[in-house]
Structure 1
Amino acid sequence: MGAEPTLEQRLRNCRASAVHLEMRDGYMRSDPRFIAWQHGVRNAPEDNDPSLRPWLALAAELAGRGVEVRRARIVSEPVSDYVEFEHHVTGANVAAGEKVRWLSRRRASDIALPGNDFWLLDGSVVLFHHFDGNGELAPDDETCTDDPATVKLCSSAFEAVWERGTPHELYQPPVR
């Protein structure tokens, strides 16, 4: 039995869609880009340059071949410093071809949500991400399934959040 494909490999194999739901108020606070941002560094090359931020090149590649890449974020308001950082660097995601929406956690209270962030790939496979209590990736950081009930839950959750969410270009995060 071979190794499981990486997220990047799974995304490269997408034919039609890759949607991502994020529900935490902080991720990997050890990220050097976040630490630099906390210290006042804005618009650093590593925030906007696809050669320094590989996700941007991958998103552009996917969008360029017709894969719809959408990300929805459920956030507490006023937003955390990490979400403020995410908002700041998301313009580059949008420029690369990703569509991003934001939804206040208060407006998500009546949506059935899975317990973890996920990617739904081509509407048929769910890849869950697992984090520790501090927002760092857990040692067993991914679980993949094509269980129809799980796919249905994740698809309906994402679409409900997407429908209510505010497009990145219009979202102004309330800060403390």
Structure 2
Amino acid sequence: MESLDAEGWARLFDACHESAYHLEMRDQYAVAEEQADIEKWRADEWGPAQDAASKAGWLDLMRATSARGVRLRRVRIVSEPVTEYIRFEHEGTPQNIAAGEDVRWLPRPRASGLALPGNDCWIFDSTTALFNHFTGDGGWVGNEMSTDPEVAALCTKAFDSAWKLGIPHNAYTLDS
């Protein structure tokens, strides 16, 4: 297992020609880099400008990737009522959309009939799956890449199925 740094992520997106899709299935992430941001958000000291500044490197990468014509999509499968973390994530999603990502939300009961991979993943050009591994409480563990055609096809099909059932960000309310 490896842990990609900013340069590793940039290489993946730079090598992408058509699509980069992200399937997220956790209700809680406890990534160390976000903890200070979440504390400010809880204290009502957080807004779009702070969110954009905090993830500026990521947003720049998304803008550059989108500008090359790569389709960026993300679907988040969530339990309802949503967790505090999902509320934080939902509030920051407009910055991702402005940078070129298309984001949908899929309430977990609507996903019951889907065959999903065991971990969150990115799918690049439907040929490469990058799995994101977390501890049970949401801490970051690392990445695992697969170029196995069967794995990539499974992840692509899972993403496409979830995407079709997902609700566009602007239509999804946290009180749904």
- Matched residues in 2 for 1:121 and 1:166: separation? 22
- Matched residues in 2 for 1:40 and 1:121: separation? 36
User: Relative to total residues, which structure has the larger helix share, 1 or 2?
Assistant: 2
Deviation, 1:29, is: 5.4
Retained in 2: the 8 A contact 1:49–1:56?
no
Retained in 2: the 8 A contact 1:101–1:168?
yes
Query: CA separation of 1:15/1:75 partners in 2, compared to 1, >3 Å: closer, same or farther?
Result: same
Count, aligned residues: 170
Retained in 2: the 8 A contact 1:17–1:122?
yes
Q: Once structures 1 and 2 are overlaid, which stretch shifts more, 157-166 or 146-155?
A: 146-155
Q: How does 1:1-176 map to 2 (within 5 A)?
A: 6-28=8-30, 30=32, 31=34, 32-43=36-47, 45-49=49-53, 53-138=56-141, 141-174=142-175
TM-score, length of structure 2 as denominator length? 0.90
Flag structure 2 segments of 5+ consecutive residues without an equivalent. none
Instruction: List 4+ stretches of structure 1 deviating above 6 A.
Output: none
What percentage of residue pairs aligned between the two structures are identical? 41
Deviation, 1:48, is: 2.0
- Matched residues in 2 for 1:47 and 1:14: separation? 26
RMSD: 1.9
- Matched residues in 2 for 1:10 and 1:62: separation? 10
Deviation, 1:44, is: 5.2
Flag structure 1 segments of 5+ consecutive residues without an equivalent. none
Q: Once structures 1 and 2 are overlaid, which stretch shifts more, 32-41 or 126-135?
A: 32-41
Deviation, 1:41, is: 2.1
Q: Once structures 1 and 2 are overlaid, which stretch shifts more, 83-92 or 8-17?
A: 8-17
Deviation, 1:173, is: 1.2
SS in 1 for 2:50: helix
Deviation, 1:159, is: 0.3
Q: Once structures 1 and 2 are overlaid, which stretch shifts more, 68-77 or 4-13?
A: 4-13
Residue type matched to 1:47 in 2? Answer: D
Retained in 1: the 8 A contact 2:37–2:46?
no
SS in 1 for 2:145: strand
Residue type matched to 1:6 in 2? Answer: G
